[in-house]
Amino acid sequence: MSDSSSATVTAALLVIGDEILSGRTKDKNIGYIAEYLTALGIDLREVRVVPDVAEEIVAAVKALRAKADYLFTTGGIGPTHDDITADCVAEAVGVGISLDERAVAMLRERFPNPADLNESRLRMARIPHGATLVDNPISRAPGFMIENVIVMAGVPSIMQAMLDDVAPKLRTGRKMLSVSVDTGGLPEGAYGTALAAVQKANPDVMIGSYPNFDGQRFRNQIVVRGRDADVLEAGRAAVEAMLQQLHAEKNEHDSKNA
Amino acid sequence: MSDSSSATVTAALLVIGDEILSGRTKDKNIGYIAEYLTALGIDLREVRVVPDVAEEIVAAVKALRAKADYLFTTGGIGPTHDDITADCVAEAVGVGISLDERAVAMLRERFPNPADLNESRLRMARIPHGATLVDNPISRAPGFMIENVIVMAGVPSIMQAMLDDVAPKLRTGRKMLSVSVDTGGLPEGAYGTALAAVQKANPDVMIGSYPNFDGQRFRNQIVVRGRDADVLEAGRAAVEAMLQQLHAEKNEHDSKNA
């Protein structure tokens, strides 16, 4: 894993599967991959979820791999007819696809009896030409990386193992650091204008405000993000000072009206 | 809610927010909206997650609202500087945006003291020209619908209330029905080829196979989907018959080798 100093490395994620769009399966991969890549020093810039439709998958692979340094995909690499990701990625990248002897060897470890390594299971050994394989320690059928596209399983535990396998091979950038400041009960509307001024005065950090509603009241977090620890700290201090002043004004106002 | 007989009604969803892409916040809206729309008779065709960057939001709104009958958005309609969804949607649709007196009146219910209805909170009453408002019974600041774009909050409980408000006004199609068949322990590789044949013989249903890995073994579900109950039942019966035959062959094979 090379830390290429100040360079930013970006990624996109394509989640493939009718079952996510129908709501039958609740995706668990987007949040996991987002957090994982952030920790690695790769900025996730866009996520798309598309159905098991070849033209849609091919179009999304082409669009997203052009927009980011890496494109990760999840889903659609199993042995059944609706698993069409490998073929779509081959088409999008513009290479051929056929049975890969390295992948067949991996499947043989799981299915030593030749009768069990049937036509359906062999579909999982169809790999685009020129790809490197991504190890699947759980059920052996590999993922793969071709050019800047990394193809992984949809089953979360297998996807996670594949991500661990491929991560050390990726180029990474300077990590995005972040710090959260609780607003101590102050609502967004009370600090919105002041926070905009803090953002303007600290253009090298990104400041976001995130309300959380627990059914009774909002608990807000202000999140400051940036790649430089000193700049981040200056941004955090400015947010804290802004909140302190608003709390002081509020206390003064409350005591006057007591 | 009009059931326009055989017509298919489609939707796309745009999730807006840096916090989802950084992994800090785990999205809870995609799965909820997917399930909700399916139950309503609206097919969710694509989801995108983009950052709080105006050009990205505008481009995604334009692309997705052209691809589907409805585009839903979540996030970015609060009172702080990073809430830019309303302005971006106005730009994407090509209309102006300004303070909306109906929205101001709603905010006045929550903030009866004029001093509390400050510049920051009034941002939440900026509504694209020509939009209808979507009620927010929780914190009053409304969502809105302009042409085929429905703009909702990112906080799940508020988004859900907004969806309930807007749903009766939407055109809906014939509902997608689905039925799941447990494969009784048969792995995907054992039925993949036979299932492809069942799909080919039943082209009016969509058949998917969904493995679930519990850390020990796969438990698979075959899901048959279609809009016609009789056609769906025929597809389900074909899947059951296929599985029954495979189980019988397996038992025969196992007893021969016992």
B141 interaction partners in chain A (CB closer than 8 Å):
none
pLDDT tens, position by position, A193-247: 999 999 999 999 999 999 888 878 888 999 999 999 999 999 999 999 999 999 9
Task: Please state, for a pLDDT cut of 70, what percent of chain A lies above it.
Answer: 97
Q: For position B123, what pLDDT does the model report?
A: 96
Of the pLDDT bands very low, low, confident and very high (cuts 50, 70, 90), residue A97 is very high
Query: Which residue from A minimizes the CA distance to B107?
Result: A189
- Residue B253, burial from CB neighbour count under 10 angstroms (0-12, 13-18, 19+): exposed
pLDDT tens, position by position, B183-231: 999 999 999 999 999 999 999 999 999 988 887 888 899 999 999 999 9
| Ramachandran category for residue B51: left, alpha or beta (phi over 0 → left; psi -120 to 50 → alpha) | beta
Calculate ∠ Cα B45-B46-B52, nearest 5°: 150
Query: Which residue from A minimizes the CA distance to B32?
Result: A23
A33 interaction partners in chain B (CB closer than 8 Å):
23
The residue with greater pLDDT, B239 or B213, is: B239
Best probe of the A interface among B10, B30, B52, by most A CBs < 10 A, is: B30
pLDDT higher than threshold 70 for residue A146:
yes
pLDDT tens, position by position, B48-79: 999 999 999 999 999 999 999 999 999 999 99
pLDDT higher than threshold 60 for residue B6:
no
Query: Which residue from A minimizes the CA distance to B52?
Result: A208
Among B48, B79, B81, beta carbon nearest to A47: B48
CA distance A48 to A96: 25
A46 interaction partners in chain B (CB closer than 8 Å):
21, 48-51, 56
* Mean pLDDT of all residues belonging to chain B: 94
Helix pair B229-256, B188-201: axis angle to 10 deg? 140
Task: Please state, for a pLDDT cut of 90, what percent of chain B lies above it.
Answer: 90
CA distance B49 to B60: 9
CA distance B4 to B188: 38
pLDDT tens, position by position, A44-54: 999 999 999 99
Closest C-alpha to B83, from B113, B54, B48, B44: B54
Among A111, A210, A213, beta carbon nearest to B25: A210
pLDDT higher than threshold 50 for residue B39:
yes
**What are the structural domains of chain B?**
2-172 (3.40.980.10), 177-256 (3.30.1370.10)
Place of tokens 């030593």: A112
Helix (H, G, I), strand (E, B) or coil at B134: strand
pLDDT tens, position by position, B86-124: 999 999 999 999 999 999 999 999 999 999 999 999 999
Q: For position A4, what pLDDT does the model report?
A: 45
B31 interaction partners in chain A (CB closer than 8 Å):
20, 23, 26-27
Beta carbons within 8 Å of A228's beta carbon, 6+ residues apart: A177, A204
B188 interaction partners in chain A (CB closer than 8 Å):
78-80, 120
Query: Which residue from B minimizes the CA distance to A46?
Result: B50
> What value does the mean pLDDT take over residues A152-177?
96
* Residue B46 · residue B130 · CB < 8 Å: no
B124 interaction partners in chain A (CB closer than 8 Å):
189
Closest C-alpha to A150, from A82, A64, A79, A81: A64
> What value does the mean pLDDT take over residues A41-46?
98
What DSSP assignment string belongs to chain A? Answer: -EE-TT---EEEEEEE-HHHHTTSS---HHHHHHHHHHHHT-EEEEEEEE-S-HHHHHHHHHHHHHHSSEEEEES--SSSTT--HHHHHHHHHT--EEE-HHHHHHHHHH--SGGGS-HHHHGGGEEETTPEEE--TTT---EEEETTEEEE-SSHHHHHHHHHHHGGGSEE-SPPEEEEEE-TT--HHHHHHHHHHHHHH-TTSEEEEEEEE-SS-EEEEEEEEES-HHHHHHHHHHHHHHHHHHHHHHHHHHHHT-
CA-based nearest distance B89→chain A, Å: 18
| Model ipTM value | 0.94
Contact A79 B192 (CB under 8 A): yes
